[in-house]
Every structure is written in structure tokens, then in C-alpha cells.
Structure 1
Amino acid sequence: MNRLFQILEAICLIGIMMRPVHAETWVVGSMEGFAPFNYSINGEYSGIDVQILNEAAERIGVTLDHRPLPWKRALLDFETGQLDAVFQLAPTPERFQKWNMVGPLRRTRTVFATLKGSPIQDIRSLSDLDGLVVGVVSGFTYEARFDSYQLLQREASLDDFTNLRKLLLGRSDLIVGGYETLHYVASELNALDKLKFLPTPLAEHARYIGFHRTPEGDDMARRLQAELERMQANRIPPEYLRYYFSR
């Protein structure tokens, strides 16, 4: 009888071992069409940040279910618990207080850009913007003083592509955004030769992925933070971490 039980136990153990292993899945939101960091290429969601996060998640046994969305919708879905995480977030004291901010994923230089024929040569203080129409992306956080500047005339757009198109059409005097993103967008619109990047950046900030401050969110954040730090220390994989960690 004992022998029979041993055989049955062995069969059950083999059955358990042969079951398919389902990776843990996190639903992650981000802004759709935010090249070169996260955007679709031939129907596949890719970009520098996407590659970094996918690599880190795979190393901890997690699959990321990416949900590209308009930025305001991504933030709303995260706030209402429909997403496990959202990236890439600019740092603010409020966000660090209410969310687990994991990273930094990279650093971004936020700059002003205008048309080459514009008389605007530089923006060194917020008062230099008085009387000018500045193109921004709706829902974006750029820099605390800039975001709260009451005299600023904003021309809000859904994304950086629309923002640049409005500048080309004369609906704004200059636009603001991450240098790499604006450079990519201008290249895609064949407008690089029409654009002038102003020398003084508005800000330089790290970018983060946020998780909820719940027991589950705390655990996700802790695991991903540890893996991102290991990747940084080992500089793996070099093809994009070299770029990523040098920003």
C-alpha cells in the first residue's frame, strides 16, 4: 500500500511539474506615440523605455501588458486602479508622496524650440515668455515654476506631433519638450531644418515609473527597483543601457 501511495505521489508531482507556467502580468500604462521612448513600430510597442522595462520585468518573471493611451487618460486609469503602473513620470513632491516612484529610468533635458526665422534667441527666465504663446502637451508636467506661471499663454495639444505642427502653422511662438522627443518628431515631420533649439534648457529631470502605495504595489515597486539597479550596475544589455544610463 505504501508503495502504491509513493507511485501516486510521484505521478501527481510529475503532473504539477508539467503544468504550463504562467508568468505574472502587470498592466502598465504610458503615453502613446512618445518616441523614441515608447511608440509602436510595425504594430509592436517598442522604444528605449519599453525595452528597458521589458528586460527588467522579464528578469523578475513578469510580463508587462502595455496599454498606450493619451497621457491624461493614462494618469486617470492609474489613479482609478485600472493600471498597475504608469510611466514615464516627471518627479514632483506630490507624486513621491502618493506613489511608489521607481527609477530613475533615464534623465531628460527639457528645452524650448522655435522656428529658425524667429527673433527669439533664448529663454533664460520665465519673464522672457511674457507675451509669447508656448505650445505644451496637455497633462504634462515640465517644471514647477513653469507649470504654475500664471502669465504664461499656453497652446495645449494632445501630443508633441500636434504641438510641432501648430508651431509650423504659426499658432504658437515656441514649444517646450524633451530634446530627444522633439528632435525625433521634427525628423518624422521633415521639419528639422525649420527648427531651432534654444540653448538654455528649462529643466533636467529624471523619469520614473509609478506604482500604487498598496501592499501589492509596494512589492512590485521593490522588485522592479532592485532589478533596475542590478541592470545599471552590470550595464546589461549594452545596446540600450549605455544610452539610457548616460542621459
Structure 2
Amino acid sequence: MKIRPSSAARIRARYLACCLAGLLLLAACPARAQERVVVVADSWMPYNGTPGSAREGYAVEILRAVFETRGFTVDYRELPWKRAVRDVRSGQADILIGVTPDELPDFIYPKTSLGRSELCFFTMDSGWRFTGPQSLTGVVTGYVQGHNYPGWFMEAIGRSPERFHALHGQDAFARMLAMLAEGRVQVIPGNRAVVDYYVQQAGLEGQVFVAGCSETGAHELFFGLSPANMPKSRLLADILDQGVYTLRNTGQLNHLLIKYGLKDWLKPR
């Protein structure tokens, strides 16, 4: 029996409605996936520390303040640095804490930085000074494998690997400081805020000295977002820019930083 025109029209309308509902459902899937933001890095306080602790680090607290108020769940995990980089690059994680565009140029970056890092050298020998690459001759220097160091530093390792001791894995920086305290290395390079934090935690105040800083080691730090998770990463970068702007202009950022004994890395306008 033939279907009357009115019945056929109703069937077509139902069919189109079902198709539209299916398309809307598919469009909603990416939005649901974006509700969870996986953040990874190795322990590098005061930027990031133990997940779930009262002091997860100011970078993690920024992420929570920005994303959780917008309905996202921040899943922060502490991983060895090399694995953290690999997971974000492959899309298994969304955000890496404390990187630079020069270090990982394939990553996606917000416009807003996470702070400024200056490469300084620390020792327990108050008579030793860093005056340039040549001053590392005659001392054993520890470093964290996979971290971003100036080209001249990596070239020095290549020329004289016996004068450098590489650490990697969990709590690499804390273990490197312990090696300095034990005399197994004589010098360690690092971000001043990071070294100051771990020195205080280890009770080594007054025993570890900043011996000078590299003129070529200063750079802006950023959150690095996964190049494999587009367009999600672009969306997260935009949210970060807007969120940090709000935190800064409402005074929430300063309040958050005070907890870690820090000040805003940008001069007030």
C-alpha cells in the first residue's frame, strides 16, 4: 500500500529530527571530553609538588582556580619529566607545567607566562663563583636529565661527561640537592625559586649559596599544551589566558602566591 503524502512528510520529519539529534550528540562528545584536564610534570616546587597535598604548587593551584570554576576537573599527576613530556606530546595528557617554546616548539602555548626563570648555580663552597662556562672546569656538576639548559651547558657535558652527573626519575631535583649536601657533586644549576624551596625543606639554609647566574639562562616559563589534542588545546590556552588575567586583576593571584612566599612575576601596571 502506498503511503499518503501527509504520512510520508511526517516520516521524513521524524527521520530528519533523528539525524539532527545524532549530530548534536556527536558535537557534545568533545565538550564532555574537555571537562577533564590531565596535567603532568615532575616535582618542581614551588611550581608543582605532591598531588592532593595542601601545597600542590602555585602552578597547579592556578590551573585549579582557572579550570575548576569553569566546570572542568583537573587531574594532576606527578611523573618523571621524560614521561610527562611524552604523555603530553602523544595526547595522553593535556598540560605540561614549566616549559618554554624554545624547548618544545611543537607544543601549544597560551600567551600568558607562568613566571620567569633564571639559571643560577649553587654550591656549598662559599669561595667558588660561577663566572662563565669555564668556571665549571674542575668541579662535578649535577643536572636533571631532560630539563632545559643553555646550549653551552649541554656542549660542556658532551665534551667532558665525567665532570657531570645526570639524575632522572621521580624527585630528581630533591635528590640532586641531597647529592650536593653529601659532597657527591660540588655544583648544581637551577631556578632560584626552586632551589630556595628545596634548600628550606632540607634545612640547608646558610649552607647552600648562589654562586652566580648565567646571562643566557633567563627565560619565561609556560604551560605547554598537547599538540595531539587539537582543537582542545587551543580552547584550554584561551581559557588560561582569560583566567590568569582575571586572577591577576582581582588580586587572587597575589593571594595564591603569598602562600609560597612569592610575588607576581609581572610588574603592576
Q: Which interval holds the TM-score relative to the shorter structure?
A: 0.7 to 0.9
Q: Which residue of 2 aligns with 1:77?
A: 87
* Structure 1 residue 69 displacement after superposition: 1.0
1-structure distance, mates of 2:139, 2:68: 46
Q: TM-score, normalized by length of structure 2?
A: 0.73
Q: Which residue of 2 aligns with 1:6?
A: none
Say yes or no: does 1:215 pair with 2:231. Answer: yes
- The answer to whether the 8 A contact 1:39-1:46 is kept is yes
Q: Residues 147, 35 of structure 1: CA spacing in aligned structure 2 closer, same or farther, 3 A cutoff?
A: same
Q: One-letter code of the match for 1:40?
A: T
SS at match of 1:35: coil
More deviation, 53-62/177-186: 53-62
- The answer to whether the 8 A contact 2:103-2:148 is kept is no
Indicate the structure with greater strand content.
1
Structure with bigger gyration radius: 2
Q: Residues 43, 229 of structure 1: CA spacing in aligned structure 2 closer, same or farther, 3 A cutoff?
A: closer
- The answer to whether the 8 A contact 1:27-1:84 is kept is yes
- The answer to whether the 8 A contact 2:101-2:109 is kept is no
Q: Which residue of 2 aligns with 1:228?
A: 244
Say yes or no: does 1:86 pair with 2:96. Answer: yes
2-structure distance, mates of 1:193, 1:84: 39
Structure 1 residue aligned with 2:47, among 37, 53, 66?
37
- The answer to whether the 8 A contact 1:232-1:241 is kept is no
Structure 2 residue aligned with 1:98, among 79, 103, 106?
106
2-structure distance, mates of 1:136, 1:37: 18
CA deviations over 1:92-131 (Å, ceiling 9, x no partner): 4352x311122311112321011135x41x2121122123
Say yes or no: does 1:166 pair with 2:166. Answer: no
Say yes or no: does 1:25 pair with 2:25. Answer: no
* Structure 1 residue 233 displacement after superposition: 3.8
Which residues of structure 2 form unaligned runs of 5+? 1-31
* Structure 1 residue 48 displacement after superposition: 1.3
1-structure distance, mates of 2:89, 2:95: 10
- The answer to whether the 8 A contact 1:110-1:178 is kept is yes
Q: Residues 43, 58 of structure 1: CA spacing in aligned structure 2 closer, same or farther, 3 A cutoff?
A: closer
Q: Which residue of 2 aligns with 1:199?
A: 212
Q: One-letter code of the match for 1:239?
A: H
Say yes or no: does 1:115 pair with 2:129. Answer: no
Which residues of structure 1 form unaligned runs of 5+? 1-21
1-structure distance, mates of 2:251, 2:42: 26
Q: Which residue of 2 aligns with 1:132?
A: 139
Q: One-letter code of the match for 2:219?
A: H
Q: TM-score, normalized by length of structure 1?
A: 0.79
2-structure distance, mates of 1:128, 1:59: 49
Q: Residues 114, 178 of structure 1: CA spacing in aligned structure 2 closer, same or farther, 3 A cutoff?
A: same
Aligned identity (percent) is 23
Computed over aligned residues only, the root mean square deviation of the Cα atoms, in angstroms, reads: 2.5
SS at match of 1:193: coil
Q: Residues 244, 73 of structure 1: CA spacing in aligned structure 2 closer, same or farther, 3 A cutoff?
A: farther
Q: Which residue of 1 aligns with 2:190?
A: 177
SS at match of 1:99: coil
